[in-house]
Structure 1
Amino acid sequence: MLHLYTDSSPNGFKATIALEELSLPYHLHHVRIDEGEHRQPAFLALNPHGRIPVLADSETDIVLFESAAILLYLADKTGKLLPTEPQARWEAIKWLQFHASSIGPLLGQRVHFEWFAKEPILPAIERYQRLTKEVFAVLDHALASRTYLAGEDYSIADIAHFGWMHIARIIGLDFSQHRHLSAWYERVADRPAVRKGVTLPAPATGA
């Protein structure tokens, strides 16, 4: 049995969307970050960094944190959501890594400095506004010639990016000027598993 430990967050949504897309049975454990449950010893034994999501596979005794690793594991376990043809496979992995190293961290910092920092730090706000606009342009350019990030097939690369783009849309971070990125967002958002995944374990505001 798969056990997913998560909360309502862009990184958590990646795991719930993937599990729903793959129709895998799993047990959902709601780790309530606002109540400090991610800092409790039981959770820290699963991820010493205290971050969600965490996936534990009782059949293999494999425990994973970091959403990109979880997506790769689920794709490998099922043989789905990751192309088998080498060029397309590495294209998907490339964009998955682009998300993990660029999109996720940059949007996370932008959200922090614009919405949660106790005092506004204008240089930081301007920096992350500029950097997120740049990576949105990169995604828009890539999607101008393909339906999904790895080509014509939906993959874990799309799931990874959607988690943060969903939150960006909810909080009013406008990327409508990037028409290819916006069209991709609507295609992915319309998938039944995606619509369900962003409500687990509880919907983010506006989901």
Structure 2
Amino acid sequence: MNKILLVEDDNGFRELLTEALSREGLSVSVAADGFEALALMEHDTPELILLDLMMPGMDGFSMLMKRKNQLPVIVISALDSEEERIRGYQLGADDFLTKPFSVKELMVRMQALARRINRQAPPVSNETAPEIQFDDTRYMIGVGDRQVMLTQTEFKLFRYLFERKGQVVTKAELQRSVLHKEFGRFDRNLDMHISNTRRKLAQTKLPRSMINTVRGQGYSFTSC
């Protein structure tokens, strides 16, 4: 993770952290709020986002909700409550670091996050995976010579994960983008749809693991 986007409204802290990270050999771009960060990512994709929460304009929580990617995020915030940490994780943050912190600790956390992401990356296979077809009128997917009939919601979930294969999609993002509601801590509606989809895959002799659970983070699509 050598290309960092720092989203922070405090000019002094932003300059100090940018200088410190640059001394570590990292390339750092900066944004003063969520609006500016989202605009920057339209043209240049970082490898990691360092995100403050309390900012004018668009705060960190809103940016997590509105972003269109699943880039790794470490929240850096003066807020240190369980509620804020839980909300950050539910919206897709990968780690939470409370200000003030040392650059050494930040670097260690970044390295640990990079190792986790590398372990979760699907192995490269030389085999050609069967082509997956989508029938939008009947909510049916075709995998090779097999066909799976799904409900409209199951079909949309499967396709959303398929279009982001190789990425881990958080439950919060699936709730917002497919079920069109915010993710609740005790909400099992999404899990039920995923479970039903896996059951139908298995009934058609396809692996349940096409929809892979990434513990503590969400789901990812894996080619059969």
Query: What TM-score range do you get, normalising by the shorter chain?
Result: under 0.3
Q: Normalised by the size of structure 1, how large is the TM-score?
A: 0.23
Larger radius of gyration: 2
Structure number with greater CO (CA < 8 Å, separation at least 6) is: 1
Structure number with higher strand proportion: 2
- TM-score, normalised relative to structure 2: 0.22
